[in-house]
Amino acid sequence: MLAPISFLLLVTLSPPQDVMARDRPNDNGKEISVFWSPSGDTGVTSYRILRQTEGQQSWDTVGMVGRLARSYADTDVEDGVRYRYVVLAASETETAESEPSDYAVSTPQWFDTDRIPALFGVAIFTFLIVLATNLARRNRNLFIRRISGLDAVEEALGRATEMGRPILYVPGLSSIADVATIASLNILGEVAKKTAKFGTPLMVPLRDPIVYTVAREVVKESYTTAGRPDAFSQDMVFFVTTQQFAYAAACNGIMVRDRPATNFFIGMFWAESLILAETGATTGAIQIAGSDAIHQLPFFITACDYTLIGEELYAASAYLSREPLLLGSIKGQDYSKIVILTVIVLGTMLALLANVQVLDWFRSIR
């Protein structure tokens, strides 16, 4: 009866196999990756990673991972120092030690070769932008999809001129750091040129002090460009308040008292969007809105005559001014989207055909 028991006590845990240590590629150094083949025993609960520098007699524990792990990243190393590793498989009662790995040295790399596809993408994008800009310089009538809200600007300004009423332009409530605010100021410049040409009064209430300063200079420059610097007045662009709903109340008061014929709400808006648009709609004004704030677009679409949605806001200044640099930027982006969509479609088709090389390439550029 004693023989089977002593035989069971001799059973030992099998160790991990093929332990490899190597420098992590395409990084700034100070990291070595350790890989191993798992132990064949189902009783393994974890793996402990031991490390030894060249010339060192003892082994240091640097980490512990679960039983399903097959690798470990040692980030507590020095560049240029030789390290080797041992992996211990541990069960509830015993451990099994692997053979030591070969020595590995961590070194930083100058270039991340995994980013080469992204580099090619940037080069192609830049080429398309430059190509489209040159085309726009030769032909200012370069095709851009019609945007109904911008086509109505001329009509809205003409209506205000005929009625002898002012134009109200609200460039959003955000700061100058917001992309939507910058796009709105570009559109304001084009609208100001037309009001200077038609002799239509313009009112631009501002919430942010910096945006106020920039907007005043934009309007002033537009009047000068239009050949009407004498028609510009400092009172056209005025600061109201930094308080969100106090600013909305002030704009509502302007719409009710001065009855502008056309209201522009273009920029970044929040909860005040419906308050402004609904008040303007009750005065009978033509309203043109534009924003990249997804949650506010439904209110503008409902209460305004025309709404610029998303990218239309950014394309508006190029659409109105026909400046070659702006037109080239828009067309270059369109060409780039065509290239990206083509690559996605071709990659999807090849992936459906189980082209392993294509799948590996897509994984490498994620």
What does the pLDDT look like over 179-197, one tens digit per residue? 999 999 999 999 999 999 9
322, amino acid identity = R
Q: How many domains does the chain have?
A: 2
| Nearest to 309, CA basis, from 289, 329, 327 | 289
In a domain, 133, yes or no: no
pLDDT per residue as tens digits for the range 144-178: 888 888 888 888 888 898 999 999 999 999 999 99
- Let me know the angle formed at the C-alpha of 265 by 263 and 270, rounded to the nearest 5 degrees: 140
What are the residues whose beta carbons fall under 8 Å from the beta carbon of 364, sequence distance 6 or more? Answer: 114, 117
Kindly report the CATH number assigned to the domain that includes residue 96: 2.60.40.10
CATH number for the domain including 153? 3.40.50
Q: For residue 2, is pLDDT > 60?
A: no
Domain limit, last residue, from 105, 125, 153:
105
Q: Is residue 159 part of a domain?
A: yes
pLDDT band at 365 (very low <50, low <70, confident <90, very high): low
pLDDT band at 5 (very low <50, low <70, confident <90, very high): very low
Same domain for 101 and 147: no
Instruction: For 266, list phi and psi in degrees, rounded to 5.
Output: -130, 120
pLDDT band at 325 (very low <50, low <70, confident <90, very high): confident
- Is the pLDDT score of 16 beyond 60? yes
Query: Of 76, 105, 134, which residue sits at a domain end?
Result: 105
Q: What is the pLDDT of residue 145?
A: 81
> Confidence band (pLDDT; 50, 70, 90) for 115?
confident
Q: Which of 45, 78, 105 is the last residue of a domain?
A: 105
Structure-block tokens of residue 244? 């969100």
Same domain? 210 vs 279 = yes
Q: Are residues 101 and 146 in the same domain?
A: no
For the segment 73-99, what is each residue's pLDDT rounded down to a tens digit? Answer: 999 999 999 999 999 999 988 999 999
Phi, psi angles (nearest 5°) of residue 326: -70, -40
Using a pLDDT cut of 70, give the percent of the chain over it.
93
Same domain, 152 and 222: yes
Question: Which helix or strand (DSSP H or E) is residue 344 part of?
Answer: helix 324-352
* 232-279 confidence digits (pLDDT tens): 999 999 999 999 999 999 999 999 999 999 999 999 999 999 999 999
Mean pLDDT of all residues in the chain?
A: 90
Q: What is the pLDDT of residue 321?
A: 79
Which residue intervals of 259-323 are DSSP H helices?
273-282, 297-303, 311-321
pLDDT of residue 361: 65
228 plus 176 within the same structural domain: yes
**Residue 35 lies in domain:** 13-105
Query: Tens digit of pLDDT for each residue in 28-47?
Result: 899 999 999 999 888 899 99
Is residue 80 assigned to a domain? yes
DSSP assignment letter at 174: S
On whether both 163 and 306 belong to a single domain, the answer is yes
Burial 247-286 (b: 16+ CB within 10 A, else e): bbbebbebbeeeebbbbbbbbbbeebbbbbbebbbebebb
Contact between 103 and 54 under an 8 Å Cβ cutoff? The reply is: yes
Q: What percent of the chain has pLDDT over 90?
A: 69
Does position 111 have pLDDT exceeding 90, yes or no? Answer: no
User: In this structure, are 270 and 169 located in the same domain?
Assistant: yes
Residue 3 in domain: no
pLDDT at 60 over 80: yes
- Considering the domain architecture, whether residues 209 and 315 belong to the same structural domain is answered as yes
Q: Containing H/E element for 210?
A: helix 209-225
**In-domain check, residue 77:** yes
Q: Are residues 42 and 163 in the same domain?
A: no
Whether 301 is covered by a domain: the verdict is: yes
Answer yes or no: is 88 within a domain.
yes
H helices, E strands: number in the chain: 11, 14
The whole-model pTM stands at 0.70
Claim to verify: residue 247 and residue 148 sit in the same structural domain: yes
Q: Are 332 and 128 in contact (CB under 8 A)?
A: yes
Distance CA 75, CA 72 (A): 9
Classify residue 308: in a domain, yes or no. Answer: yes
Collapse the DSSP code of 175 into the 3-class scheme (helix H, G, I; strand E, B; otherwise coil) and give the result.
coil
Indicate whether 38 and 171 sit together in one domain. Answer: no
The reply to whether 95 and 191 lie within a common domain is no
CA–CA separation, 255 and 325 (whole Å): 36
pLDDT at site 356: 61
| Four-point Cα dihedral 271, 276, 278, 283, nearest 10 | 170
